[in-house]
């Protein structure tokens, strides 16, 4: 048996983001999100409150653990797509690669169990900063490809439309129940028309100068 100290619940005191997230999910299901405190999560995980804040900035960050891990890779995915690709083909590939990280076996529990956990309002509130981050990252990538400032209207409007469609698809998918399949095909149906439309507009602009 390991010499590491254990809490009364039997958990190792040396923890991780995943251990804290697991403890939080258990408590959210038992007593709802609003009825659970950071101190209770830390105690269930066998760590101190200070240790909690080494891993998470707030309680709501626990709801987004796997999502945030994937979102952090988005900039790199965009960078790795060939510059020879049409702009919106690159955008489509990058967003679908991101969506490909999720399927029936990989979805934050708080999304599928939002009614039991009482997390719906918190998810909507804490989603905004993540939405804006994705828009900013995608806008910057589009701007580089079309030679415009990142805060110019065209790259910003494209990024907002694409990410908005992807978020709508993810929301429908997350609430579709146990029969849901992979996320990527659902996102593809939502964003492909957006990408086609903007590619046509970019092509027209290139022709007319």
pLDDT at 123 > cutoff 90: no
Instruction: List, as own/partner pairs, every contact residues 47-56 make where C-beta atoms lie below 8 angstroms and the sequence separation is at least 24, other chains included.
Output: 47/13, 47/15, 47/19, 47/20, 51/15, 52/20, 55/16, 55/17, 55/20, 56/17, 56/20
pLDDT at 209 > cutoff 70: no
- Collapse the DSSP code of 101 into the 3-class scheme (helix H, G, I; strand E, B; otherwise coil) and give the result: coil
Return the closest-CA partner of residue 156 out of 138, 129, 131, 144. 138
The per-residue pLDDT of the chain, averaged, comes to 85
N-terminal to C-terminal alpha carbon distance within the chain: 72
Yes or no: domain 1-57 corresponds to CATH 1.10.10.60:
yes
pLDDT digits (tens, 9 = 90+) for 17-48: 788 988 998 998 898 888 999 999 999 999 89
Distance of CA 98 to the CA centre of its chain: 9
Confidence of residue 102 (pLDDT cuts 50, 70, 90): confident
Residue 174 half-sphere exposure toward CB, CA atoms < 13 A: 21
Q: What is the mean pLDDT of residues 192-204?
A: 96
Q: Is the dihedral of CA 95, 97, 98, 103 positive or negative?
A: positive
Place of tokens 């990408």: 195
Q: Fold identical between 1-57 and 63-208?
A: no
Architecture category of domain 63-208 in CATH: Orthogonal Bundle (1.10)
Cβ neighbours of 179 (radius 10 Å): 6
Question: Could you give phi then psi for residue 106, rounded to 5 degrees?
Answer: -140, 90
Tell me how far CA of residue 9 lies from CA of 31, 42, 67, 112, in angstroms: 18, 12, 28, 26
Map out the domains of the chain as residue ranges. Answer: 1-57, 63-208
Output the six-digit token pair for 191: 């964003």
Q: What is the mean pLDDT of residues 164-178?
A: 86
Return the closest-CA partner of residue 174 out of 101, 95, 126, 109. 109
Question: Could you give phi then psi for residue 103, rounded to 5 degrees?
Answer: -155, -170
Cβ neighbours of 39 (radius 10 Å): 11
Are 52 and 107 in contact by the 8 Å Cβ rule? The answer is no
Distance, in Å, from the CA atom of 61 to the CA atom of 68, rounded to the nearest integer, reads: 8
């Amino acid at each position: 048996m390991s010499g590491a100290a254990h809490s009364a619940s039997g958990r190792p005191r040396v923890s991780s983001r995943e251990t804290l997230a697991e403890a939080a999910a258990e408590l959210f299901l038992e007593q709802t999100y609003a009825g659970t405190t950071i101190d209770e999560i830390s105690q269930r995980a066998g760590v101190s409150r200070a240790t909690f804040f080494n891993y998470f900035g707030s309680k709501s960050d626990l709801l987004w653990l796997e999502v945030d891990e994937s979102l952090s890779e988005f900039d790199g995915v965009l960078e790795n797509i060939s510059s020879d690709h049409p702009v919106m083909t690159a955008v489509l590939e990058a967003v679908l690669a991101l969506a490909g990280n999720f399927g029936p076996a990989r979805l934050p529990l708080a999304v599928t169990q939002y009614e039991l956990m009482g997390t719906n309002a918190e998810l909507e509130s804490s989603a905004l900063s993540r939405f804006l981050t994705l828009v900013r990252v995608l806008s910057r990538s589009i701007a580089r490809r079309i030679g415009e400032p990142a805060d110019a209207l065209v790259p910003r409007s494209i990024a907002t439309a694409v990410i908005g469609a992807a978020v709508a698809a993810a929301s429908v998918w997350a609430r579709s129940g146990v029969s849901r399949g992979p996320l990527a095909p659902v996102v593809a149906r939502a964003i492909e028309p957006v990408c086609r439309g903007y590619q046509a507009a970019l092509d027209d602009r290139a022709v007319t100068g």
